[in-house]
Amino acid sequence: MQPHKNPSRRTFLSALSAAALQAANGAPRNVLFVASDDLNNSLGCYGHPLAQSPHIDGLAARGVRFDRAYCQFPFCGPSRASLLTGLRPDRSGVTSNAQVDFRRKNPDAVTLPQYFKQNGYRSMRVGKIFHMGVPGGVGSMNHQDPPSWDVSISPDGLEEESAGEGGNPNPDIRHGLRMQWVRTADDRGQADTAAADKAIELLEETAGEPFFLGLGFVRPHVPFVAPSEFFDLYPLDAIEPVANPANDLDDIPAPAKNLRPFLWNDMGMTPTQQRIALRGYYASVSYMDRQFGRVLHALDRLKLTDNTVVVFFGDHGWHLGEHTHWQKMSLMEESVRAPLIVAAPGMDGNGRATQALAEFVDLYPTLTELCGLPPPPDLDGVSLAPVLQNPLETVKNAAYSQVEYENRIYGRSVRTDRYRYIQWQGDGGGEELYDHDNDPREFHNLAASARRSGAVNEVIERLRAALSRP
C-alpha cells in the first residue's frame, strides 16, 4: 500500500514561500528536536484523565498534535535508528538493541542531524537521541554517532542508585526491565535535569547561529525516578489499573505472547503493585515535562521561539496493562502509537490536532522542508508539512511497524484509517485484524474467527498484500 499521493501537494509546495520557511528577519529556522524515552500518550493534551504535563500541553496548544503517529519498531534502538536515518528498519539494518550501528549496513548514511550540520547548522546533542541503554548506559557516549554532531554530551545520572524511598515488585526480571521506582527528595543527580541545564547553556551560547539541538530525556523509562512532589500529584486511590476482558488473550496468536513473555500477565504484579507502577510512570512523565518546560522557557527568554521548529515525541509507545501487557515490544496500538507534536512558526494548522496517519520516518523530510533545505534523496518517509498547514490533509494511507525477537519471531503490522492488521511468523505464526471503528482497544481479533465474513477476508487480503510494499 503506497503512500497516498495528495493532489494538492505540488500546489502546497509551490505556495509555501521562502518567507514562510524563515523568520521575519530572514534567518534560517532552528530546530529543537526533543525525544522522551518510553513515553506513550499518557499526557494531558492527549486527553489522559490523570496525567499532568502542562509544558507539553502548552506546546500542543501552539503546534500540531498528531493523534495517529506510529513508530517503525517498538524498541528504542531500532526506532531511533529508523527515525534518524529516514530508513525503515529493514533498510537501516537495525532490528534489535543488540546491534544498533546503522553504519554497518549504511556506512555512508547521512543522518537527520548530520544533514543539518552539512547545511551550515550547529548540530548539538544532549542526552539520549540515538540508542542508549537505560539505566546502565546513562552517561555513556556509546552509539551516539560522532559524524552527526558538532557537540555531543551524555549527562550522567544516579538512576536506581538515587537516595529516597523505593520499591521493586518484580526483582527476578533483569535490570532495566523491572518496574522499579525511587521517590527522591529533589532532582539532584538526575540525568534529565542535567540535560535540561546543558541544553539551556547551549541555547545561550548558540543564539546567534542556526542550530539543530537534539535533546533526549530518559524518563519515563524504568526505573521510575522522580522527586516526591511529582509522586504526590497522583494519589494511589485515584489510580485504577486497566480493565481487560477475562478472555482477552485467547485470540492473540502464540508468537505475539511469546515476544518477551514476561511482559504479559501484568508482569506478576498485584493490583496494588500495578497502581504503584502507574504512579511511578505518571510521576516520571510530570518530572520530565518540568525539565522540558525549562528549555521552552529559555527559548522564550532568548527570543528564539518565533524562529525555531520544536518537535516533541516519544520514541515508541508503552503498554500500561492493556491486554495484561506492560512496556513495549508488541505490535498493538499502545506499543506502536506514540505522541508527536510539531510546532513550526507560521503554519496555519498550529493549535489544532490531526487524525492524519504519520510515521516517524516522516520526520526527516518534514524538518528539511520546513527549514527550506534541499530534499535529501532516497528517504522512506514523506513530508508532513501539508498536514502542518492543514490538519485535515493526508499524505499517506497506511503506517507500518515491525518487530523481531531472538531470530525466531517476526511480526509486521499495517495500520490504516480503520484497521490494524498484524502478520506473525515463527512459533506457529498467525494473524490479527482489528476494526478500530468498532473496537478501538483491539479486543476482538477478526482474523481468528472461523466464521469471518467475506468482507473481512477481503480486508485481510488487501492488507496482507500491503505489507509487502510499504
Q: Which residues are known catalytic residues?
A: 76, 131
Residue 363, classed as helix, strand or coil, is: helix
Bridge partners of residue 343, in order along the sequence: 310
CB 366 within 8 A of CB 384: yes
How large is the C-alpha radius of gyration of the chain? Answer: 21
SS3 at position 409: strand
**Cα 470 from Cα 452, distance rounded (Å):** 26
Query: Considering only CA atoms, which of 82, 4, 150 is closest in space to residue 313?
Result: 82
DSSP element (H, E) containing 136: none
8 Å CB contact between 234 and 282: yes
Question: d(Cα 441, Cα 451) in Å, to the nearest integer?
Answer: 22
Q: Do 387 and 363 form a contact (C-beta atoms < 8 A)?
A: no
Q: How far apart, in whole angstroms, are the C-alpha atoms of residue 130 and residue 109?
A: 14
Please state, in angstroms and rounded to a whole number, the distance separating the CA atoms of residues 315 and 153. 19
Q: Answer whether 366's CB lies under 8 Å from 342's CB.
A: yes
The two beta strands, 326-327 and 319-320, are: antiparallel
Grid cell locating 449: 474467527
